[in-house]
Amino acid sequence: MPEIPFLSRKVRPLIGVDISSSSVKMVELAGDPKLGYQVERYAIEPLPREAVADGNIANLEAVAESLRRCLRRMASNTKSVAMALPASSVITKRIVLPGGLREQEMELQVESEANQYIPFALEEVNLDFQILGQVGDSDDVDVMIAASRKEKVEDRIAAAESAGLKAQVVDVESFAALAAFELVAGAVPGGSNGKIMALVDVGANSIDITVLRDGNQVYAREQSFGGNQLTQDVARQYGMSFDEAESAKRTGSLPENYESELLRPFMDGLALEVSRALQFFFTSTQFNQVDQIVLAGGCASIPGLPDVVTGRTQVPTMVANPFSSMTLSSKVRPKSLMADAPALMVACGLALRRFDS
C-alpha cells in the first residue's frame, strides 16, 4: 500500500491544490462542516503553455515555480496540501468484499482483486482503497479501489516538494469536483432531490460532462472543446502570441469587435457541444431529460453563457459556486471569488478533505 494514499482521510490542516493544463489553483478553508465553512484564502497562478500536457507534468520546474508564486500570493503558513490526478491517469473500480475483515485481510483482498483490473505489475502502481459503506442489508461492504502508475503520483509530489509543500494526500480530480458539487447542488432552485443534474466543466482543452441523480454519477463523457480554442482565435484574429491572447482575454483589453466576431460564436459552439453531449446521454442511457445544467471551469464565468446554453438545450443553466454559502475572510475579495469560483471546483473539493473524519 502506498505512503501517499489516494483516498485516505484524517488529514488536516491543508490547502487544496489543483494543477490543471492552464493554471495552478489553491484554496484554504476553515470553519466546521456543521456550523459552516469559511474561505480563508485562495490564489490562481497561470502555467506556461505545455507545462502540463494531457494531465501529465511535462515541465516540472515550470510547475514548481507556478506553485511557489501561488503560495506567495496565498500568504499561508500551511504547507500540507491535498493534490489530485486527472481521472484519465487513475484506474478506479468498485468491488464488494465481506464485512468484518481486519485491515491486513482487506489489503490482501484488494490487491488480489486489483490484479484482475490493473494492466501493470502492482509494484509499478500506487494502490489504495476506501470503504464506501454497506451493501444493502448484508454484511458485505462496497469498496472503491484506485490505482495509478507511480510516476504520475511522484511527479506531482516532486513539484509540491520543490515549492516547499508536502503532499499529504493524492485524490482524483473527478472525486474532488463531485465533493465540491455537493455544495453547489444545495443552492439549486427548488433543491436537488430527485433531480438529474449535469455538471459541465469547461477546461482549456476539453469539456467534461458528469450527469448525477441524487448525487450518484450515472454518466460521464469528455469532448474535445475548450477555452484554448477561443485563445487561438484571438491570437489569429489580432496577430498575437498565444500567451498575449490569453492575457488580453483575461484582462478584457481586446477590440470592440471581439465580442460579436469571436466571443459570441465561441459561446454558441460551446452550447452546441453541451447539447450534443446531452443527446449522447439520452441515447446511451434510460434517461430522457436533464433538470439542471451546472457550468464549471474557467469559461463558465463568461457573462451571458448560462443564457446561451439554456437557449440551445432548453435546460435551466447556472454557474457553479461552491462558496456561495460560505463566509469569507477579510483576505478574500467577494467580487474576485465570484468570478473565479467555477474554476475552483477541484481545489475546493481538495480543501474539503481537511474536514473528513
Task: Say if residue 81's pLDDT is above 80.
Answer: yes
Task: Say if residue 109's pLDDT is above 90.
Answer: no
Mean pLDDT of 29-55: 90
Give 27's pLDDT tier (boundaries 50, 70, 90): very high
For residue 152, what are the contacts with CB-CB under 8 A and spacing of at least 6? 56, 85, 89
Residues 163-202 pLDDT 10s:
999 999 899 998 899 999 999 988 887 778 889 999 999 9
List, in sequence order, the alpha helices (H) in 285-331.
305-313
The CATH superfamily holding the domain 188-319 is ATPase, nucleotide binding domain (3.30.420.40)
Q: What letter would DSSP give residue 1?
A: -
Give 6's pLDDT tier (boundaries 50, 70, 90): low
Find out whether 300 and 318 touch, Cβ atoms under 8 Å: no
Q: Which grid cell sits at 10?
A: 484524517
Find out whether 128 and 5 touch, Cβ atoms under 8 Å: yes
What's the pLDDT score for residue 25?
Answer: 97
Domain ranges for the chain, please list them: 15-89+152-180+326-355, 188-319
Find out whether 343 and 298 touch, Cβ atoms under 8 Å: yes
Distance separating the N- and C-terminal Cα atoms of the chain:
20
Q: Which grid cell sits at 34?
A: 456543521
Task: Supply the CATH classification number for the domain 15-89+152-180+326-355.
Answer: 3.30.420.40
What's the pLDDT score for residue 238?
Answer: 94
Q: What letter would DSSP give residue 342?
A: G
Give 3's pLDDT tier (boundaries 50, 70, 90): very low
Mean pLDDT of 254-267: 94
Considering the chain, what is the average pLDDT of its residues?
90
CA nearest neighbour of 222 among 205, 239, 238, 236: 205
Residue 329 phi, psi dihedral angles, 5° rounding: -75, 170
Q: Which grid cell sits at 195?
A: 433531480
Task: Say if residue 325's pLDDT is above 70.
Answer: yes
Angle, CA of 350, 25 and 74, to the nearest 5°? 100
Give 1's pLDDT tier (boundaries 50, 70, 90): very low
Residues 112-122 pLDDT 10s:
888 888 888 88
Find out whether 95 and 113 touch, Cβ atoms under 8 Å: yes
Give 11's pLDDT tier (boundaries 50, 70, 90): very low
What's the pLDDT score for residue 12?
Answer: 65
What's the pLDDT score for residue 5?
Answer: 54
What's the pLDDT score for residue 104?
Answer: 87
Burial group, residue 182, by CB count within 10 angstroms (0-12, 13-18, 19+): middle
Whether 15-89+152-180+326-355 and 188-319 share one fold: the answer is yes
Find out whether 16 and 82 touch, Cβ atoms under 8 Å: yes
- Work out whether the CA dihedral 301, 304, 306, 308 comes out positive or negative: negative
Find out whether 178 and 144 touch, Cβ atoms under 8 Å: no
Higher pLDDT, residue 290 or 7: 290
Q: Hey, what long-range contacts does 133-141 have (CB within 8 A, 24 or more apart)? A: 134/99, 135/96, 138/99, 139/98, 139/99, 139/100, 140/96, 140/97, 140/98, 140/99, 141/96, 141/97, 141/98, 141/99
pTM of the model: 0.89
Find out whether 49 and 233 touch, Cβ atoms under 8 Å: no
- Work out whether the CA dihedral 295, 334, 21, 238 comes out positive or negative: positive
Give 204's pLDDT tier (boundaries 50, 70, 90): confident
Task: Say if residue 140's pLDDT is above 90.
Answer: no
- The span from the CA of 95 to the CA of 82, in Å, is 25
